Structure 1
C-alpha cells in the first residue's frame, strides 16, 4: 500500500540541481566511449547527433549544416553498421535518397512542410507502402505481393514530408500466429535484438520500430498495437511509446489483428519526439469507420501540451496497487519510489487506488496473457474472430500473390515449415508452430454468442470497472489527472488495450540486469493531451534528478540465441 511504503522512498540524486536538456545529454555524448566501437554513432559533418532530438535535427537542416540527402546517407551507414547485429530493419527503401533530394529542393524553395520534413523514419512491416518495398508482416508468404495503396498513416507521413527509410522488423504476423514464440522474430527479417543486451528479449510485436529508435538509427518510428505491442517494446528498449485511443489513427492498410483493439502509434527517444510522430498520423479516414465515429479524431497539434516539471504542482495521480504495484520487482521498485517521491516533492499528490476488475482481468502472476479467463471472458475469443475477418479482407486486396486467405498462408507455412516453423519442433523460434492460426481458422470468423460475450465482458471490465473506475477519487468526488503504473510484464497495460484507451510510457531507469523499465500513464478515451502533459512534465523531472535516459550498451553483441530470453526483473 502506498501509505505503508512512503517511508521507504529513496532520496533523488541531485534533486536540487537544475540542468538544461543539452547539459543533461552531454554526459551521454561521452558515454559512447564505454561501448564497443562497432556501435558508436559516427559524426555527420563534424556534428555529434547522438541522442539528437527532432527539433535539433530540423534546426540543422534548416540552417544548412547538412541536407536531407546527407542525413539519409548517414542513417543508411548506421543501418549497415549495426543491423547485422540488431536485425531491426527488414528492408530499405531504394528511393530514399531520391526522395530526400526532392525534399531538399522544397526546403531551398522555402516550402518546408513541418518538423518531419526531410527526416528519415521507419514503419513497421505490417503497414502497407505502395512503393518498391514489400509489406509482409515478416512472413515469406507475402513476399512479392503488391498492396493496392499506402496505408493511410503512411500517406499522412509522406504528406508531412517524412522519408520512409524502410520497414522495421517485427514479431511475425504481429505475434498472432503462435502462442509460444521468440518475441521479435520473423522468418523474413530474423531475430530483432535488444540493444541493451542482445541475448535478451526486445519484446514485441513492434520490436524493430522500438530498437531502431533506441539504437539511434532514426529519431522517430511507427508501430502498431493490439495488446502491448507498442508499450512493451518501448519500455524494454528504453524509449517513449504512445499508444493512442482506438480511432485516433487509421488502421486502413495495416495488416489487421483486431478491429476492437488495433491502433497505430509512435516511438521517440523523448516525449516531444514521439508526439511529433503522433501529430503526423492523426486524422479521420473514410476507410476506417472508427476514425469517423468521433470529431475527436480530427487533426490537432499535440505538441502544444508539452510542458515541464513545474506543471506538476497541484496534480493528483492514482497508483493502482492490486496486481500492479504489488507485483513490481524489488530493484525496479527502488527507482520507482525515487520517482514517486520526486513527483510528490514537485507538488503533486500520489494516491493508492485499485482497478476493481484487477482479479478478473490481470493474471495472478502479473504476466501478460490474452487467453486469461473462460472463453466468454477471454480477449483471445475476440481476437480469433476478428483476426480471421480482418486478415482475409486484407489479403483479398493484394495482387501478384496466391495468398488470398489465411488458410493459404497456413498451408504455405506447412509446406515451408523449415523456414516458417509451422510444425512444433521445426524451428526454435516457434515451439508451438502456428497453433494460434489454427484456432483462428477454426473460428471461421463467426461472431458467435461467445464472441459477443467476450467483447462485452472485456470492454466493460477494462473500461467501466477498470480504468474509468480507478480514475475516480470517491473520497473527494474528483477525477485523478492520470494513473501511474510501473508494469514490466504487460498485464496492467492489457487493460488499456482491451479498453481501447490511450497509454504512454517514459523510461526511468534500468534493472539489475541492465535492462530498461518505464513509468506509464493511463487515462480514459481521447485524453492524449492530458497524458502528454503529464508525461512530458515527469520526463523533465526525471531528466533533472537522474539525467538522460540510460542509453544502450550492446552487451553480448555476438549473441545469436533463438529464442531470446526475457532477462528483465
Structure 2
C-alpha cells in the first residue's frame, strides 16, 4: 500500500505544486494532492519507499533516462518492498524480491521506480462484466479528464497517472487493448511493441501469444527512450529470441521524422459512426496529408469467427500460463493455480462485490489442446498473414491508421463497461504486431487517439511515423480538468 509517512511528509507547500514535476519529491507531492486527495484518482496503488534513495543513486548513471521517475503497472515485479498484486487480494502480500527483466533494464538505465499503478484486476480477464480500472486492492481509478468517466483497462492506472503528471512515464501491459485504450481515453501516447520485443518474464500473465509490456508517456520520443531500455532478448522468454537482433535505437531520426511519401492505409470502416469523432479523424487525415503522407482507403471487415478463436486461445493460455507463474512465486502461502484463485474469490466477498469470475471459471474448463492449437493457428493467420500483412501488401501501404477508440464512457460498476466498436487494435493484438496510439484531439473534452499499426518488427518505423504526426498535428490536445464531465 502507499507509504503514508512519505506522503504526509510532503503535504506541506502543496500550494506551490509544480505544473510539470521533475523530482521524486515533486511527483510524490502531486500524488498526495491529486491521487490521495482532491479528485482522488486512485491511479497509484503503491509508492516505492526507496524512491528517494534510488533517485540519489541514479545520479551516478549517465544517460537520458537517469533520474526519470517511472510507475509500473502492478502486474510487473520490481525488486524491493513492493508487492505485485495484479490488483487481487489473493496476492496482496506477494513481495517477490525479483525484478522483471524490463524493470532491471529500466534501473540499469538510471530510471527510478516510483511505485506501482492500479489496474483492472487480473488485467481485466476475470469477468465478462467488469468496470475498467477497478481492483479489490486499489479501488476504482478515475480518468483525470473527467473523473466520472472510465480510464479504460487494464493499464488504467498507468494511463491516468501519466495524464495527471504523477510520474514522468509509466509502463503498462497489453493482451488486447490494455495499453492502447487507456492511452487513448486519457490523452497520452501508448505503445504496444511487437510481441517478442520486450520480455514478459515475471509479469502476471494472460496469454503468451499476445501479452506484452510497453511504455505510456506524454510524447512519442519518451516512449522511444523507454523502448531503448526495455527491448531485447531474455533467455527465459522464448518469444524474445530475436529481440536483440531486432532492437535498434528507437529514438534515431525522431526529431527529423517525415511523412513525405509515406503511404498510409486509412481504415474508415473502423472509425465508427459518431459525427464528432469522424470530423476529428478527418482533421488528423488532413494534417497527415499536409505533412506529405499519401492516404489510401482500406476496405476491411473482420471475420465473425475471429473473436471466438481469440477467446479460445486466451482461455486455454490463461489457465496454463497463470498456473506456471503462480508456481514460480517464492514462499508457500500463495495460490499456485487458477483453481486456487477461483476458490479464493469465492471465499472473499470483497472480490466479488461488483462482478463475478465467469472467465476464470470458463478458462479452468478449457482443456482441449487440439482445439486450442487450431484456434491459435487460425486466429494468427487471420490477423497476421491474411490480415495486416495482406492489407499492407495489396494496398502498397507502410502502415494502417484509424481512431484508437471512442470517447471514455461513464464509470458504472453496476451496468459495467461500454466499450465502443471503434478501432483496429484487435488485429495488432492477435497478430502480435506493433500498435502506437498518439493523441489527435478530443470529442466534448474527452481525448481520442490515432492508431498507427504495422507489420511484425516494424516498431521503429511506427514510432517514427507517430513522431512525425505528433509534430504535424494542428488540433489542440486536451489537458486534464480533474472534474466531472461537463463541469
The whole-number CA distance in structure 1 between the counterparts of 2:243 and 2:50 is 37
For 1:466, which of 384, 387, 398 is the aligned residue?
387
Q: Matches of 2:287 and 2:304 in 1, distance apart?
A: 33
2:29 to 74, 77, 81: 77
Deviation at residue 155 of structure 1 after TM alignment: 0.8
Distance in 1 of aligned mates of 2:156 and 2:241: 29
Following TM superposition, by how much is the alpha carbon of 1:557 offset from its aligned partner in structure 2, in angstroms? 8.6
Instruction: Report if aligned partners of 1:247, 1:290 keep a CA contact under 8 Å in 2.
Output: yes
Q: Confirm or deny that 1:546 pairs with 2:475.
A: yes
Match of 1:441 among 357, 364, 368: 364
Match of 1:303 in 2: 251
Residue in structure 2 matching 1:387, options 318, 336, 340:
318
Q: Structure 1's 41 and 500: CA in aligned 2 closer, same or farther, altered over 3 A?
A: farther
* Residue number in structure 1 paired with 2:148: 199
Displacement after TM superposition at 1:193 (Å)? 0.3
Q: How far apart in 2 are the matches of 1:157 and 1:361?
A: 40
| Matched-pair contact (CA < 8 Å) for 2:322–2:337 | yes
Post-superposition offset of 1:412: 1.2
Contact 1:305 1:529 in 2 (8 A): no
Show structure 2 runs of 5+ residues with no match.
1-10, 406-419
CA distance in 2, matches of 1:359, 1:441: 27
Deviation at 1:91, TM superposition (A): 0.5
> Quick one: distance in 2 between partners of 1:391 and 1:519?
32
1:396 aligns with 2:327: yes
List structure 1 segments (4+ residues) > 4 angstroms apart after TM superposition.
40-44
SS at match of 1:420: coil
Secondary structure of 2:251 counterpart: helix
Deviation track 1:443-491 (CA, whole Å, cap 9, x = no partner) reads 2xx35221112101111111112111111245xxxx3121111131355
Task: Select which of 256, 265, 268 maps to 1:321.
Answer: 268
User: Helix, strand or coil: the match of 1:283?
Assistant: coil
2:167 equivalent to 1:223:
no
Contact 2:119 2:157 in 1 (8 A): yes
Report the TM-score, using the length of structure 2 for normalisation. 0.89
Aligned residue in 2 for 1:567:
none
User: Partners in 2 of 1:128 and 1:347 — Cα distance?
Assistant: 43
Q: Distance in 2 between matches of 1:473 and 1:499?
A: 18
- The number of residues matched between the two structures is 457
- The aligned residue for residue 510 of structure 1 is 442
Provide the rounded CA distance (Å) in 1 between the counterparts of 2:45 and 2:362: 28
Q: Is the counterpart of residue 89 in structure 1 residue 44 in structure 2?
A: yes
- Within 5 Å, which residues of 2 pair with 1:132-151? 132-147=81-96, 149-151=98-100
Which residue is equivalent to 1:187?
136
Q: How far did 1:397 drift?
A: 1.7
Look up the match of 1:29: none
Report whether the alignment pairs 1:339 with 2:284.
yes
Work out the CA distance in 2 between the residues paired with 1:328 and 1:502. 26
1:312 aligned residue: 259
Which structure has the larger Rg?
1
State the Cα distance separating 1:416 from its structure 2 match: 0.8
Partner of residue 484, structure 2: 556
Say which of 440, 452, 455 aligns to 2:376: 455
How far apart are 1:278 and its partner, in Å?
Answer: 1.6
Once the two structures are TM-superposed, the CA of residue 354 in structure 1 deviates from its matched residue by: 2.2
Separation (CA, whole Å) in 1 of partners of 2:391 and 2:304: 15
**RMSD of equivalent CA atoms:** 2.2
CA separation in 2, counterparts of 1:146 and 1:214?
28
Gap runs ≥5 in structure 1? 1-37, 58-70, 107-111, 363-371, 422-426, 560-569
Correspondence for 2:64: 115
